[in-house]
Structure 1
């Protein structure tokens, strides 16, 4: 029998069953969105981007196919007020033809003054029973919640942060402690590999199946809608060629601070070893944009592969390289992950654009 229960650790909890006496727990209906936004503004973060931009909230969480917002909410039956929320993003949000369910949990909050045992946990119980995800992941979790996911037998850890610096510069406006560190990993270049920019129409024409690795949760339409159709960010794509054959595609965008640029790779399609030997290509694209560096945050591709692509691991030195630009924070802030899967076919490789980590946090003036 196929296992469809991703968090059996939540079964047979009397306190969860008793919560239905006081609360209506379910997916957020369309007509409850104003209450959801009010909760986010008042109890999660004042002037959160989802409060300021309904367009972005709808793009990321409005499930038109199921006529709901992809949040689980607990509503007090007496007051009709929301006491707890759990947001999630499925890869099918960007292609509703994707049948395998991977869910990225994001905003998880119980109102501070509400002390009801298991209220927050009950939202995960509802999610796993009604969405039935094969793979459940969280990115950017707090140190306080890591233990909860470990108790539920999730794998947890810290994402790796890799970089290549612009070797034509001596001073950097975005970085700190950059003196006396290697600007890239000394690795041989593969001169047969080249980068070529790729717009939406060109991407559509690519033979997607010829270079994709085993990925049951994403599709060509996923990448089109996630990156080329983003309502606020402008993403770029480069196809990796070996002679005349496309063997991979990288998605990236530009972040700016203090009149300086960083190129941030946020997703990748292709086999891991395709990146090996691309060091000269990465250096060329850095110079093309006059960027200070290019970086990538990843779990699932080995350190060896990134080294052979020319990338240094931030953890190997004292370099301070920011992850947050909205607002800008010049600190090394670990990006913690948790994931669990019950699928034998799942390939657990994560990038920054998975979950809700690569979304605007501020409206541009």
Structure 2
């Protein structure tokens, strides 16, 4: 009755119809083929990176499982890591979701896989697949010390924090400037220069900005960021990172926040050593403060982002830009 296979290039309308009926009626993949293609159309294999359960009787999809490969943004990348994303099955076929996941594991012989932004439904089942780590992303931030009133976030403690001075500098990088620098990816999954270019600099909707960390003329690391406009105010999200974490960047981020009149910069991630982030100058959010993570639509509340991964690498790291967690939902709020 069911054929388990990849979604064919000419079946995107079938995929959109399933998502509309059985996941979310106004999902961005339903409204925008451009975003669907950016996230999931596999140019190398000329398919959509969705595993589907195709019903041979009614010619519909009865379950889908989306995934993202490194080669989605770097066609020369070796796909030894996979991100799973949208996962759904019709109520009358509850076992199909597990069947798709098992099939995906078998097809790719998965040793390194992760999911971020998991639903309660997904969390119930990932425990069946021997994930090495299941938890919540850490939420770090630096607030603008010159701001007295916050329209996007709420900080109970608005005292200025004292940090050591540093000789490091943050500098905005153009795409061409980024191309000229050579930095190693110090975390797994490894990301190439082309990955960062096509994932961020060439995003069809969002305007990402890269800030290099320099000591004199030597580049040490790069933050990939996005500015959000909300409630007639602005904030900055760090969505990805390249290089090594550097100490004492608090003053440089303060300069950036104050120059652009931003409320805060936030950094959602999973790293094995949180002290590395704190030493940069970030604070770990507590429950007494409110730092939103959802802006489309905007929710002024604390929301935990659950993740799961299994990997043969000890330094497996998750950033907000991984998987589909920094994907447009509507065409607003990006500058």
Sort the TM-score into its range (normalised by shorter chain).
Answer: over 0.9
Deviation of the 1:183 alpha carbon? 5.4
**C-alpha distance after superposition, 1:124-175 (max 9, x if no partner):** 1111122333311000112343232123211100000011111111110011
Counterparts in 2 of 1:220 and 1:159: CA distance versus 1, 3 Å: same
User: Secondary structure of 2:295's match?
Assistant: coil
**Residue 52 of structure 1 corresponds to which residue in structure 2?**
31
- CA distance in structure 1 between the partners assigned to 2:258 and 2:299 by the alignment: 24
**In structure 2, which of residues 183, 186, 202 is the aligned counterpart of residue 229 of structure 1?**
202
- CA distance in structure 2 between the partners assigned to 1:356 and 1:183 by the alignment: 35
- CA distance in structure 2 between the partners assigned to 1:271 and 1:208 by the alignment: 9
**Residue 245 of structure 1 corresponds to which residue in structure 2?**
218
1:125 maps onto 2:93 in alignment:
no
Mind listing any 5+ residue stretches in structure 2 that lack a counterpart? none
**Matched length:** 332
1:282 maps onto 2:253 in alignment:
yes
Counterparts in 2 of 1:303 and 1:187: CA distance versus 1, 3 Å: farther
**Residue 8 of structure 1 corresponds to which residue in structure 2?**
none
1:168 maps onto 2:141 in alignment:
no
Q: TM-score, normalised by structure 1?
A: 0.87
- CA distance in structure 2 between the partners assigned to 1:214 and 1:35 by the alignment: 37
- CA distance in structure 2 between the partners assigned to 1:301 and 1:197 by the alignment: 28
Mind listing any 5+ residue stretches in structure 1 that lack a counterpart? 1-21
Counterparts in 2 of 1:199 and 1:45: CA distance versus 1, 3 Å: same
Answer yes or no: is the 8 Å Cα contact 1:196–1:239 preserved in 2: yes
User: Secondary structure of 1:74's match?
Assistant: strand
**C-alpha distance after superposition, 1:185-218 (max 9, x if no partner):** x43232x211111010000000234xx3254531
User: Secondary structure of 2:152's match?
Assistant: coil
Answer yes or no: is the 8 Å Cα contact 1:86–1:107 preserved in 2: yes
**In structure 2, which of residues 37, 45, 52 is the aligned counterpart of residue 73 of structure 1?**
52
Answer yes or no: is the 8 Å Cα contact 1:227–1:235 preserved in 2: yes
Counterparts in 2 of 1:183 and 1:84: CA distance versus 1, 3 Å: farther
Q: 1:31-110, aligned counterparts within 5 Å? A: 31-110=10-89
Q: TM-score, normalised by structure 2?
A: 0.95
Answer yes or no: is the 8 Å Cα contact 1:187–1:307 preserved in 2: no
**C-alpha distance after superposition, 1:80-110 (max 9, x if no partner):** 1111000011121000111142111110001
Answer yes or no: is the 8 Å Cα contact 1:98–1:217 preserved in 2: no
User: Secondary structure of 2:222's match?
Assistant: strand
Deviation of the 1:347 alpha carbon? 3.1
Deviation of the 1:302 alpha carbon? 2.6
**In structure 1, which of residues 236, 251, 263 is the aligned counterpart of residue 236 of structure 2?**
263
Deviation of the 1:332 alpha carbon? 0.4
**Residue 113 of structure 2 corresponds to which residue in structure 1?**
136
**Residue 137 of structure 2 corresponds to which residue in structure 1?**
159
RMSD: 1.7
Larger Rg over CA atoms: 1
**Residue 340 of structure 1 corresponds to which residue in structure 2?**
310
- CA distance in structure 2 between the partners assigned to 1:61 and 1:46 by the alignment: 19
